[in-house]
Chains A and B, each alone.
Chain A
Amino acid sequence: MESRDYKALRNRIIGLALGFSLIPLFALGFTIYYQFHVSYTAKILQNLRGLLENRRDAIDLFFDERISQISTVAYTHTLEQLKDEAYLEQLFRLVQSRSRSFVDLGVIDEEGNHVSYVGPYQLRGVNYRNEEWFQATMLRGVYISDVFMGFRKFPHFVIAVTRREAQRTWILRATIDTDIFEAMVKAAQVGRRGDAFVVNRQNVLQTTSRFGQWRLGEILVPEFSAFPGTRLESTVMDGREVLVGSTWLRNKDWLLVVLENPEEELAPLLRARTLVLGVVLGGVFLIVLGTVFLARVMTDQLARADRRRAVLDSNLVQSSKMAALGKLAAGIAHEVNNPLAVIKEKAGWIRDLLAEEDIASSKNFREFEDAIKKIEYHVDRARKVTHRLLGFARRMEPVQESVDVNRVLEETVGFLENEARFRNIEIRKELLEDLPVIRSDSSQLQQVFLNILENAIDAVAKEGAITVRTSYSPQLREVEVTVADTGPGIPKEMLGRIFDPFFTTKGTGEGTGLGLSVSYSIVEKLGGRITVESEEGRGAAFTIHLPAP
């Protein structure tokens, strides 16, 4: 398989694995976040509702108490008694001793004249007949005013109670300390950006809004209409999401509004989101890393297995090819050997006959003798060829036998000497004389030597030298056979690949790219190894290390 295919396979594995692991991860992350969001938002809204209702009840109670305090005073006294300012002051003190909610207390007769007054302002004698609150109070009996400026030129609101006494009607009026009221409302204010205030039916602020206008300014909140209970909604103000809770007060047509900044309230949710995002991103990172790593390991393993199988296959092909070739060679050698034997004997016979004296004296005797010599010489040449062929054809299965490496080398070099001579390549032999005999397989070794020598001849191409050297290393207990050539050498980047099957520098059809890989696996099988040393331009030296006893 090509390396391109491995890359495609790896990408496919990575894609699939990432798809199958990241989609559930994202789904999980999203679900967790969504569920958390829903429940947390619900909780925030519930909190807001609780806060709002609690405040509303507190304010309602506050009004109830104030109204009942004033009513009590009004209904337990006569106008005459309360006209006495000293007495009124005494009463005021008594009321204030329980709660400091009132600023002042005043009595107004039915003409609207302020007949008596206790408080910080000089209001006695002021006539309220034309004031809106006065008329409303006269009409309804109990009245809580909106916040207004009045004669004091300061925002305030009043609670007034009407008492009908015999033919007279008079009003007991108290001003509420706006600070205390405001504080009650502000208690519902949460966080740095939260707000709580009260508006009346005309959307006019009755208390200060933290970020809005002063009291009595128009606030820019949605139109609030009358509705029962509590309303919670999310709206956008000034480009910011705001949670708005609102509820009508019971005693007065005022709307209590609490604004919450969800960003602030949702901080834990945002933290959770960041956490989930972090965990998911970390997971993605690990998964991607792991997947890429795994895919790489897998495809590398596959590539290695493929490469091993290719070597195995090529070995198989090679050995079956060799076996077939061996049989063919043996057959030819045989068929040629018998006629050769006959020729040799016939030539010998002629030589025997030439020895007889009458022929010796013939004038062509020298020619005959010369011809016989030539015939014998060439029969001998042919015999060497057939014997070599038979030697080559010998057993193909690996065996353990005593091998004289030098002799095998000599034999192998013998095969190639003609070819080398033809190309003007000198083969120098530096064979160690007392090289130990090793246990190995001579025919397999021969094949290895043949492959490497052939490569060397191909590398040198023309004009050069090949040195075949044998040596023995007693420390490593190995016999080393070095074949060094004067060829162009092997580029560094190719050194690591020359033993790979199908790696060849020769043109298409010239080399199978199997020679070195087969040699490598043969030597490995024989318990040895092949090393190579080469520098570009300086030739290459292959060394075959074989275990020695």
Chain B
Amino acid sequence: MAPPRVLVVDDEEDFLETLVNRLRRRGLEAQGALSGPRALELLENGVFDVAVLDVRMPGMDGIELLKEIKDRWPFLEVIMLTGHGSVESGIQGMRLGAFDYVMKPADLENLLEKIQQAHERKSLRGD
């Protein structure tokens, strides 16, 4: 199975950059976007298996982005990153079609595991 192609969306540049680097280092095809519109742009021009979205972002937030993504790329699996301690935003995300949610600051191992699972599901759903 080909390595998952991952799009990470977060407004915190330091975080985004490092996470993308670490994912790439683990053999994933990772790309980063600093905002919702930027992410949509990338999605239009490329193919991704999994998107990791931060819930809280200025402008278009994670939930809005999720809706848009599920609207246009229903087979793309989405993992929500909630900086919010509340489970609600995570649950809300899952109700809107997200695969899972991870609490921020997240363990990379934990996130990797979820990305793998999401990727597997996407494959199973017959890509």
Instruction: Give chain A's interface residues, CB within 8 Å of chain B.
Output: 330, 333-334, 337-338, 340-346, 348-349, 352, 379, 383, 386-387, 389-391, 393-394
Q: Which residues of B contact A341 (CB under 8 A)?
A: 12, 15, 83, 104-106
- Checking B83, B85, B86, B106 against A338 with a beta-carbon cut-off of 8 angstroms, the contacting residue is B83
Question: Does the CB pair B85–A389 fall under 8 Å?
Answer: yes
Q: Which residue of B has the minimal Cβ distance to A376?
A: B107
Known contacts A337-B105, A383-B105; A342/B85 CB under 8 A = no
Q: Residue on B with the closest CB to A394?
A: B86
Bound-state CA distance A352–B103 (Å) is 22
B84: Cβ under 8 A from any A Cβ? yes
Alpha-carbon distance A333/B104, docked complex (angstroms): 11
With CB as the reference atom, state the residue of chain B lying closest to A386: B85
Closest-CB distance, A224 to chain B (whole angstroms):
116
Cβ of B123 < 8 Å from any Cβ of A? no
B window 1-44: CB within 8 A of A: 12, 14-15, 18-19, 21-22, 25
Contact of A348 among B18, B56, B85, B104 (CB under 8 A): B18
Instruction: Digitize B79-102: 1 where CB-to-A-CB distance is under 8 Å, 0 elsewhere.
Output: 000011110000000000000000
CA distance A333 to B15 in the complex (A): 17
Q: Given the known inter-chain contacts A386-B85, A390-B85, A394-B86, please indicate yes or no for A338 contacting B104, CB distance below 8 A.
A: yes
Q: How far is the CA of A394 from the CA of B15 in the complex (A)?
A: 26
Q: Is B47 an interface residue (CB 8 A)?
A: no
Closest 3 interchain pairs by CB? A390-B85, A341-B105, A345-B18
Q: Check B108 for interface membership: any CB of A closer than 8 A.
A: yes
Is A345's CB under 8 angstroms from B104's CB?
Answer: no
Quote the shortest CB–CB distance from A341 to chain B (angstroms).
4
Q: List the B residue with the shortest CB-CB distance to A349.
A: B18
Residue of B nearest to A344 (CB): B105
Q: How many residues of B contact A (CB 8 A)?
A: 18
- Chain B residues lying within 8 Å of A344, measured Cβ to Cβ, are 105
Contact B103 A387 (CB under 8 A): yes
Whether B105 lies near A346 (C-beta < 8 A) is no
List 19 A-B pairs, Cβ < 8 Å: A330-B85, A337-B104, A338-B15, A340-B105, A341-B12, A341-B15, A341-B83, A341-B104, A341-B106, A343-B105, A345-B15, A345-B22, A348-B108, A349-B22, A352-B21, A352-B22, A387-B103, A393-B85, A394-B86
* Shortest beta-carbon distance from B47 to chain A in Å: 25
Say how far A194's CB is from chain B's closest CB, in angstroms.
106
Say how far B84's CB is from chain A's closest CB, in angstroms.
7
Q: In the bound complex, what is the Cα–Cα distance between A338 and B28 (angstroms)?
A: 24
- Indicate if the CB atoms of A352 and B85 lie closer than 8 Å: no
Q: Please report whether the interface of chain A is mostly helix, strand, loop or mixed according to DSSP.
A: helix
Q: How far is B83's CA from A390's CA once the two chains are assembled, in angstroms?
A: 10
Residues in A with CB closer than 8 Å to B22 are 345, 348-349, 352
Most buried by B among A340, A342, A349, A386: A342
Apart from A338-B104, A342-B14, A345-B105, 5 more pairs, CB < 8 Å: A341-B104, A343-B105, A345-B18, A348-B18, A349-B22
Point out the residues of chain A lying under 8 angstroms from B25, CB to CB.
Answer: 352
Whole-angstrom CA separation of A391 from B103 in the bound complex: 12
Residues of B within 8 A of A346 (CB): 14, 18
Q: Which residue of A lies closest to B104 (CB)?
A: A341
| Given known contacts A341-B104, A342-B12, A349 and B85 CB-to-CB distance under 8 angstroms | no
In the bound complex, what is the Cα–Cα distance between A341 and B54 (angstroms)? 12
Known contacts being A348-B108, A352-B25, A387-B103, is A394 close to B18, with CB within 8 Å? no
User: Which residue of chain B has its CB nearest to the CB of A382?
Assistant: B105
Residue of A nearest to B103 (CB): A387
Task: Name A393's closest neighbour in chain B (CB-CB).
Answer: B85
Taking the closest CB of chain A, its distance from the CB of B38, in whole angstroms, is 19
Q: Which residue of A lies closest to B83 (CB)?
A: A337
Contact A333–B85 (Cβ < 8 Å): yes
Nearest CB in chain B to that of A389: its residue: B85
Contacts of B15 in A (CB 8 A): 338, 341-342, 345
Are the CB atoms of B21 and A349 closer together than 8 Å? yes
Instruction: Contact check, B18 vs A342: say whether CB atoms are below 8 A apart.
Output: yes
B12 to chain A, nearest CB (A): 6
B56 surroundings in chain A (CB, below 8 A): 334
* Residue among B19, B21, B25, B104 having the largest count of chain A Cβ atoms under 10 Å: B104
- CB-CB under 8 A for A391 and B85, given A337-B105, A338-B15, A342-B18: yes
A387 vs B105: C-alpha distance when bound (angstroms): 10
CA gap between A346 and B86 in the complex, in Å: 25
Write out the residue numbers on chain B whose beta carbons fall within 8 Å of the beta carbon of A352.
Answer: 21-22, 25
Contact of A334 among B19, B83, B103 (CB under 8 A): B83
Output the least CB separation between A190 and chain B (Å). 106
**What chain B residues lie within 8 Å of A334 (beta carbons)?**
56, 83-84
Q: Which residues of B contact A391 (CB under 8 A)?
A: 85
In the docked arrangement, what's the CA distance between A346 and B12, Å? 13
Give A383 to B21 CA distance when docked, in angstroms.
Answer: 23
Inter-chain contacts of A394 with B (CB < 8 A)? 85-86
Q: Which of A344, A345, A352 counts the most B-chain CB atoms under 10 A from its CB?
A: A345
- Nearest chain B residue, comparing its CB with the CB of A355: B25
Kindly state the separation between the CA atoms of A379 and B56 in the bound complex, as whole angstroms.
21
A383 partner residues in chain B, CB cutoff 8 A: 105
Question: Which chain B residue lies CB-closest to A353?
Answer: B25
Complexed CA–CA distance, A334 and B54 (Å): 13
Q: How near does chain A come to B27, taking the closest CB pair, in angstroms?
A: 12
Report the minimal beta-carbon distance from A373 to chain B, rounded to whole angstroms.
14
How far is B57's CA from A334's CA once the two chains are assembled, in angstroms?
Answer: 12
Which residues from chain B contact A348 at a C-beta distance below 8 Å? 18, 22, 108
Residues of A within 8 A of B105 (CB): 337, 340-341, 343-345, 379, 383
Complex CA distance for A274 and B26, rounded to whole angstroms: 112
- Measured between alpha carbons, how far is A393 from B87 in the docked complex, in Å? 12
Q: For the complex, what is the distance from the CA of A383 to the CA of B15, rounded to whole Å?
A: 16
- A343 and B86 CA atoms in complex are apart in Å by 22
Q: For the complex, what is the distance from the CA of A344 to the CA of B19, rounded to whole Å?
A: 10
Which residue of chain B is the closest to A337 with respect to CB atoms?
B83
What is the bound-complex CA distance between A387 and B85, given in angstroms? 6
What residues on A are CB-neighbors of B86 within 8 Å?
390, 394
Residues in A whose Cβ lies below 8 Å from that of B83: 334, 337-338, 341
Whole-angstrom CA separation of A333 from B83 in the bound complex? 9
